Chains A and B, each alone.
Chain A
Amino acid sequence: MVEHKRFGNLLPHTILWIGIAIVAFPVYLAFIGSTHDAATIANGQMPPTPGPYFLENYYRTIFVGTSATTREPVATMILNSFIMAVGIAVGKIAISIISAYAIVYFRFPLRMSFFWIIFITLMLPVEVRIYPTYKVAADLSMLDTYAGLILPLIASATATLLFRQFFMTVPDELVEASRMDGAGPIRFFWDTLLPLSRTNMAALFVIMFIYGWTQYLWPLLITTRDDMQTIIIGIKKMIVTSDALTEWQLVMCTVMLAMLPPVLVVIGMQRLFVRGLIETEK
C-alpha cells in the first residue's frame, strides 16, 4: 500500500480478522467435535475446548471405521481419494499439454476445428453428460475401478487453453533455435517446452488435485463397493438420517482428515503455484 498511517491499517485488519473468524470457526468446531465422545456431542452441550478423545477417535476413524454405516476405515477412503485426485490431476495435465502442443506448433487440416471442439467441451461437465458417460463406463466394465473414477474426468478444456496461451507466449525463435540445434519436435517438447511449463504444470496440479479430491457426484455413481468409495462419499454415508445414531465424533475426524491433503498440496506447492500464475520463466 502507498499509505503508512499508524492506524490506517486498523480497519482493513479488523475486517480481515472477522473474515478469518467466520471461515475458521466451523473448522475449529469440527476439530473440537473430533476430540469428544459421542455422548458429549449428542447431549447438545459440547464445550468449546478440545476433549480427551483425540487419539482414540482418530485411531478408530482411520483404522476401524464407523460401527454402523460404511464399515470401511477412512484410511482406505483417503487412499482411494488420493489415487483419484492424483490420477485426475496428472492425467489432465498430460492430456492437455499434448493437445495444446499439437494445436499451437503443428499445422494440420482442421486445426482450428479441433481447437473449437476442445473449447466447446467447457460446456459439457460431467453433470451434463452423466448418463452417457455412466453408460460408457458401465459398458467398459469400469464400475468400481480407479479407471472408472479417473478417466471420464480427465479431458480438460481449461488446462488445454491455459497451456495454449502459455505456448503462444514462448518466442518462435526458441523453436527455430531448437531446429538449428538439431532438436526435432519430440526433443523440443521434452528439452525446452516441458521445463518451461514447470510452474504452469504445478499451478494446474494444485487446482486439478483439489478438483479431483472434492468430486462428489461422479464417485457416488461409479462406486458401489465400500472399499472403493472416496472420502467425500464416505462422509455422506456416515451421516445417517434413519434410526441409527450418527457417530458425530468420527464424522468430524473424517472431515478433518478430508481437509488435510488439499491443504498440504497447496502449502507444499504454494511457491511454484503463485509463480505459475503470475510470471513465466522466459
Chain B
Amino acid sequence: MAGVTLDEVRKVYAGGVDAVRGVSFNVPDGHFCVLVGPSGCGKSTLLRMIAGLETITDGRVTIGGQVVNDIEPSERDIAMVFQNYALYPHMNVYDNLAYGLRNRRTPKPEIETRVREAARILEIEQLLARRPRELSGGQRQRVAMGRAIVRKPKAFLFDEPLSNLDAKLRVSMRVEIKKLQRALATTSIYVTHDQLEAMTLADMLVVMNAGRVEQIGPPLAVYERPATTFVASFIGAPPMNLLKVSAAEAAALIDGAAIGIPDSGAVLGVRPEELSLAADGTKPAGGMAIELNVIAVERVGPETFVYGALDRGGELIVRLPGQAAPAPGERVKAVARREKLHLFSADGQRRLIN
C-alpha cells in the first residue's frame, strides 16, 4: 500500500489539446480520493495517466515513493476498474479474476486462495464458473472489482464504475465500494461526474474544471466553503444560487453589509437549502433578505423546491423541508443567515469572505 502523488502533471494531446494543465495533489496512504468535474474536464485523462494508459506530457506521478512516469501499467502495481467493466467475455469469472495473477507467474495454489478470498468478500462465489454475459450488471461490476482486489495492488483506480448501473443499484454499489475500501484500506482514486457519488465516497475531494484543479479538500469542507463559483454551483443539488451584485445592491440585500464588496462588484452565493421563507419579512441580524415571485413549486415529499423570479432579473431556488409551501404567483420573502452567505470575486475565481 502506498500514497499517490501528482506533481504539476500536464497532458497535451498530439492535436495540441490541453487536457490537463498542471495538476498537483497528494493522496495519502489508504485514503479515498474522488476526482469530480463535468465531462471533458480532464479527470479521466488524469486517471489514465496515473494508470499508465496515457503518456505524461510533463510533471511527475509518484506511487509509493517511486516515480512511475516511464513504467509500464502492469508494473505500477495498481488495479483499475473500468466503466464498461472490460471483463474478458470468453473467460469465466474465475479466469477473469486469475488472469492478471497468472500473467505475473503467481503460483497456482496462491491464485486459488486469492481468487476464492476475493469472491468471498464480494459474494460472487457461486458465480465463479459463469461467463460475463450470463451475469447481471451489478454482478459484472462485482467481478470487475474482484479483478482489482485479487491483485492486492498499491492503489485502486476507478473510472466511473457505476455509470452503467441503474439508479437503485448505483446507490447500493456505492455503499459497498465505500465499505470495501474501508476494509481493505487501499489507496483509491475514483473518477466520477456525479457529485452525490463524489460527496459520499470521498475522504478527499478534487474538483476539476477545464484541466485544472478548482479545489481540494474533505467533501464537507468543499461544500461549506467552495473556493470558486464553479465549485459552488457544481457541488450541491440543486446548485447554489449565484447573484451578480454591485456594492450598492449588496448593501440593500444584506443587513449591515460590512463585508467589503469591491467597487467592481461581486458574486453573492446562497444555497437553496439555507434559504427560508420569512412570514414577517424580517431579516436575520446581518443576514440577507430578498423578495421573489413564485413561478413554480416542486413537491417531492420530504422537501419542496420553490422557484422564484427576482425583481432584478434572474431566478432563485429555495429548498424547504416538508410540504408546506406557497402557491405559484404568490410574492414571498426569502431570508438567509449571515454565516451561510458566500461571496466571490466578480470573475468567480476567488472567495471573498471567511
Whether A187 touches B103, Cβ cut-off 8 Å, given contacts A176-B53, A281-B89, is yes
Residue B168 at the chain A interface, CB threshold 8 Å: no
Question: In the complex, what's the smallest C-beta–C-beta distance from A35 to chain B, in angstroms?
Answer: 48
The answer, yes or no, to whether B78 is at the interface (CB within 8 Å) is: yes
Tell me whether A196 is interfacial, beta carbon within 8 Å: yes
Does chain B have a CB within 8 A of A207?
no
- Complex Cα spacing A257 to B234, Å: 75
B86 touches A171 (CB 8 A): yes
When each residue 211-255 of chain B gets 1 if its CB lies under 8 Å from chain A and 0 otherwise, what string results? 000000000000000000000000000000000000000000000
A181-B103, A191-B99 known; A173+B82 contact, CB < 8 A:
yes
B residues neighboring A (CB under 8 Å)? 51-53, 72-75, 78-80, 82-90, 99-100, 103-104, 133, 147
Residues of chain A lying within 8 A (CB to CB) of residue B90: 192, 195-196, 198, 281
Residues in B whose Cβ lies below 8 Å from that of A176: 51, 53, 73, 80, 82, 86
Contacts of B88 in A (CB 8 A): 174, 177, 191-192
Other than A176-B82, A192-B90, give 16 A-B pairs with Cβ distance below 8 A: A173-B86, A176-B51, A176-B53, A176-B73, A176-B80, A177-B147, A179-B52, A180-B74, A180-B79, A182-B74, A182-B75, A182-B100, A191-B99, A192-B88, A195-B90, A196-B89
Smallest Cβ-Cβ distance to B159: which chain A residue: A173
Complex Cα distance, B87 from A171, in Å, reads 10
Interface centre among A171, A182, A281, A282 (most CB of B within 10 A): A182
> What distance in Å separates the Cβ of A186 from its nearest Cβ neighbour in chain B?
12
A183 at the interface (CB under 8 A from B): yes
- Please give me the 4 A-B residue pairs with the lowest Cβ-Cβ distance, nearest first: A182-B74, A181-B100, A173-B86, A182-B103
Question: Which single residue of chain B is at the shortest CB-CB distance from A171?
Answer: B84
Cβ-defined contact, A182 with B104, below 8 A? yes
Encoded as 1 (CB less than 8 Å from any B CB) or 0, chain A from 151 to 176 comes to 00000000000000000000101101
Q: Which A260-279 residues have a C-beta within 8 angstroms of B?
A: none
